[in-house]
Amino acid sequence: MEDDVEKEEEMGDFFRSFADVPLTPPEKRNMCIRCKRPLSVCLCAHFPSTFLQISTTIHESRLLTTVPLLQACLSPDKLFVKRGRRFYKNDNPDLHKIITKPTTLLLYPGPTAENIKSLKQLPPGEHYDVIVLDGTWRQVKDIFNNNPFLCQARQVQLEHDSISEYIIRTQPNSKSLCTMEAIALSLSVLENDDEIAEVLIRPLRALCKIQLDHGAVVHFNKEHEDEILLRTEKRQALLKQRDMDGGVKE
């Protein structure tokens, strides 16, 4: 079962499946300068107009899917992307240096992981460094196992009641979120600002819509189909209400 899910995850990776979307061959003049996508699938309207103001720093491994989205939302000094499967000290002195700091958090579930919601807010001037491993579930497990120094970090997990909106890829279970969503919710908790999750998930939602419009199949967890639809309706009603109340914070 898990293997099937992983296979589907890999096959369904958005940016690879993007290649299957029937578009006219991308000519330079038809490309968006900012997001580097064909204008017909430009995502810029869904990015915040300026980088999110956050104190937390994200260190993320080998991203396929979420890097371009996060890069559009977070300033370069708040998002460090490490490519590869092994992060040796020589190549990653910065990561090894911060690994034992009490403010360095490894977002990886497990029996000893603390609930990220139970962490205290840091005083002004201090910030959390959050290390996020990205890939399919098996790849993430491999990265964790192949980099023993990661065990030295304070391990945290996100306890949440959200349902993944990344519906063009099957999540292993109803509690699973994609990396972008996990980062979005974690940042909202650490920065004590619900709007952060909304701003970060917005482009992801747009990606799904583009994919669905081009014939992608919805990968619902059947048991939660009704709940997802209900929440979508609720959110739309909330946003409408906010608009009526005088605009939405970007």
Assess 23 for contact with Zn ion (CB under 5 A): no
CA angle, 248 then 200 then 72, to 5° = 105
Question: What are residue 57's phi and psi, to 5 degrees?
Answer: -110, 135
Sign of the C-alpha dihedral, residues 243, 186, 88, 9? negative
Least distance to Zn ion, CB of residue 66, Å: 17
CB of 74 to Zn ion, least distance (A): 17
Q: Tell the smallest beta-carbon distance from residue 30 to Zn ion (Å).
A: 11
Which one of the spans 41-49, 61-69, 163-171, 184-192 is the region binding Zn ion (CB under 5 A)?
Answer: 41-49
Residues 9, 12, 35, 221: which binds Zn ion (CB under 5 A)?
Answer: 35
Q: Minimum distance from CB of 44 to Zn ion (Å)?
A: 3
Nearest to Zn ion of 189, 206 (CB atom): 206
Q: Which two tokens stand for residue 245?
A: 């109340």
Name the region of 179 (left: φ>0; alpha: ψ -120 to 50; beta: rest): alpha
**Residue 37 CB, nearest approach to Zn ion (Å):** 6
Q: What order do you get walking across the sheet with 114-115 strand by strand? A: 79-82, 57-61, 129-132, 104-107, 154-157, 114-115
Stretch that binds Zn ion, among 30-38, 106-114, 151-159, 185-193 (CB under 5 A): 30-38
Of 37 and 82, CB closest to Zn ion: 37
104-143 residues near Zn ion, rule: CB under 5 A? none
End-to-end CA distance of the chain: 40
Question: 170-189 mask for Zn ion (x: CB under 5 A)?
Answer: --------------------
Nearer to Zn ion among residue 48 and residue 135 (C-beta): 48
Residue pair 115/157 in contact by the 8 Å Cβ criterion: yes
Spatial contact of 106 and 87, defined as CB atoms under 8 Å apart: no
Give residue for tokens 């205290």.
120
- Please choose, out of 33-41, 51-59, 84-92, 178-186, the segment that lies near Zn ion by the rule CB under 5 A: 33-41
**Minimum CB distance to Zn ion, residue 203 (Å):** 10
What part of residues 42-71 is at the interface with Zn ion (CB under 5 A)? 42, 44
CB-CB contact of 158 with 107 (8 Å): yes
Q: Under the rule (CB under 5 A), what is the footprint of Zn ion? A: 32, 34-35, 42, 44
